Amino acid sequence: MVDHTGSSASTESGRPDVAGILEHLRLAEAKLNRQREQQSGMSETDRAAMRYLLEHDDSDEVTPGRIARALHLSPASGTALIDRLVARGLVVVHGHPHDRRKKLVRPLDGDIDLDHLDPLTMRLRSIAARLTSGDARIVATFLEDVLASVTHATAPSH
């Protein structure tokens, strides 16, 4: 883990400025997403869908609905996502062999290198793997709280 106690990301008490670091992370991620979209023509959601498909390619039940749920998309947004990936020649959609109501989604090329598609995710997984079990629990609890806050902030108000 990077030591932020001696950097400008510390408060006067020497305690790491977690909120400040989190804000820097959000800004860096937004910038990275813009750069990657310009370079590849794929949005973060497109890359997440491809990552999901490649990680679950051995499953015989990858449906548009399953992808939409995994990425927290509405069914309509999931359909638009699959349509974009089909149009780019990245996935194929075909009928389920035993259930005419279902459509299955498969990557056109199952040998796409996940590290090439999204090298940051693989690096982040490597960093996370270095955490001790105790540290992982603390970080996971913190990140789950952050995720809940972000999810709540983006949820449609009724």
Condensed to tens digits (0 to 9), the pLDDT of residues 73-131 reads 999 999 999 999 999 888 999 988 888 888 999 988 777 776 666 778 788 889 999 99
- The per-residue pLDDT of the chain, averaged, comes to 84
Beta pairing class for 91-95 and 103-107: antiparallel
Residue 4, pLDDT > 50, answer no
State residue 146's pLDDT score. Answer: 92
pTM score, two decimals?
Answer: 0.63
- Dihedrals φ, ψ of 72, to 5°? 60, 45
pLDDT reported for residue 6:
45
**pLDDT of the residue at 58:** 74
